[in-house]
Structure 1
Amino acid sequence: MTNLALITGASSGIGKEFARYHASKGGDLIITARREEALNTLKDELERKHSVTVQTIALDLAAEGGARKLIDEVAARGLNVDILINNAGFGGHGLHTQRDWAAEKAMIDLNITALVELSHGIGKGMVNRGGGKILNVASTAAMMPGPLQANYFATKAYVMSYSQALDEELREHGVTVSSLNPGFVHTEFAAAADLEGTGLAAQKGATAESVAKIGYDGMMKGKLVIINEGRLSFLLNWITPLLPRRTVLKMVRGMQTKSA
């Protein structure tokens, strides 16, 4: 298989668009998500349109041992991953203490634990072969605390910090690690996270296709942190850090408060 990419959360949204973009460049794929039927539909589309080879692995990465199962299955098939895109993740709206703990824990297990285990396991093979690229999908949420999505914002802050440190460790071994920090994107995320009716979900936002292209191209260039809009990048890097912390907290909470 040539230029093989492993993409998690590939059944919809940004993950599906990553798969489409990689296939359009002639790259083979391993796509994984929980929904087997959606994976098979995407497999058929990409193989028909681009004459690439697509393998599917349907599993729940948030389940106990999910990431290890994926790593072991890739190894059992004798596949060497050239590009790892850790895209799978989810959020959830509401006061942290009133949210279901099982859902909060599953968010940590998927957004952090599975991502780190895959980066460790697949990244080790890349280092041994002397090359590879990892793209971890974080969010602009990584760059500030997030009242009413406290756990989600914190998981993305972890992803951004971890990705930068890992890049510094692995770059001398031919492996780059990038953090993709998009703003609001029109996908199933808002509905799944119960964000409809908030100022955040009312934003114009970006398309999954445009974010996937910007993220993929930035990864291929070895960029450390990738933000999909110049205006957002300026705001988050040069304005927000200068504001009083309480002001930032109130601003973010206001964006995530549902209209009456």
Structure 2
Amino acid sequence: MSTTGKSRKARRSPAPRSTDTAPTRRTALITGASAGIGETLAWLIAAEDYDLVLVARSRDRLEALAQALRESHPIAVTVLPLDMAASGSARKLWLALQRQGVAVDVLVNNAGVLQHGAFTAMTPADHQAMIQLNVAGFTDLLAHFVPPMAARGSGRVLNVASIAAFQPVPSLATYAATKAYVLSLSEALGEELRGSGVTLTTLCPGITATDMVARAQAGSSALQNLPAMLISDVQDVAVEAWQACLKGQAIVVPGTLNLATTLAARATPKWLLRRLTGLLGRSTL
């Protein structure tokens, strides 16, 4: 009888829904989450009490990371092994989360691939692999996950580019071009969505101590001899990126030297920039 009485009273004077239901959990989706910047961001975002969806090719590495995150934080972690370079992967990911009723509040578009070397020494497949993941897969993720954010009127996107996005880089010609695309699309989309409640932040790190950079260094003695001051710590990069994402900052370039380099690149005449980057790039081949 007491339950019935409360029900009738509620109909006469409805209580606010927020007092009757638990707060909605926030979810962050991170691609390229199994190592490097993606893995470090996973730890930072988990500490902010977000549930996580982790995406990368390696199931074993993702499962190990997910277990460690669950043991350290009271969050839900979903593992979805996918190759984001494969056609249709973004749609598969979106449909899988739709079936689970998961809405993505933060998209970390981090999956990417780098190949260092002379353009003519690489195979057509090498170039296509970079374009497929860094451009096509990147765009497809945005096309699937940003429209629902805009419809809700809230969401954050963190796209990972590179300081290579600011100038041509001989020895990284295709890679730098793909990251220029990432930066350009991010800036344009951010302006389209201004005032919508959805923000886009582009992370443009310099050389960072990650597995991807280590693989590039393994094939170049010049890269192996880079001064330590030129190599950023992955934790520092991830912290700056996450803070900028929370603020809705359009572009973040971690490190004073990297920031100075990008500002100089934008101010330098194109012909001179080509000569300078040509000298530096050729020296690493």
Q: TM-score band, normalised by the shorter chain?
A: over 0.9
CA pair 201-55 structure 1, distance change in 2 beyond 3 A: farther
TM-score scaled by length of structure 1: 0.93
The answer to whether structure 1 residue 108 and structure 2 residue 131 are counterparts is yes
Aligned to 2:273: 248
CA contact (8 A) 1:185 1:206 kept: yes
Paired AA for residue 259 in structure 2: S
Deviations 1:4-38 (A, max 9, x none): 00000000000000101001111110000000000
**Aligned length in residues:** 259
Aligned to 2:31: 8
Gaps of at least 5 residues in structure 2 are 1-23
* Distance in 2 of aligned mates of 1:197 and 1:203: 13
Aligned to 1:231: 257
* Distance in 2 of aligned mates of 1:153 and 1:201: 21
* Distance in 2 of aligned mates of 1:27 and 1:124: 21
Query: What percentage of aligned pairs have identical amino acids?
Result: 35
The answer to whether structure 1 residue 99 and structure 2 residue 122 are counterparts is yes
CA pair 133-244 structure 1, distance change in 2 beyond 3 A: same
Deviations 1:97-146 (A, max 9, x none): 32111121111111111111111110011011110000100000000001
**Which of the numbers 30, 36, 61 marks the counterpart of 2:84?**
61
SS in 2 for 1:56: strand
The answer to whether structure 1 residue 207 and structure 2 residue 230 are counterparts is no
Aligned to 2:15: none
* Distance in 2 of aligned mates of 1:96 and 1:259: 13
Aligned to 2:9: none
CA contact (8 A) 1:178 1:219 kept: yes
- Could you say which structure has the larger radius of gyration? 2
RMSD (Å) for aligned C-alpha atoms: 1.8
CA contact (8 A) 1:140 1:227 kept: yes
Kindly state the Cα deviation for residue 83 of structure 1 after the two structures are TM-superposed. 0.1
TM-score scaled by length of structure 2: 0.85
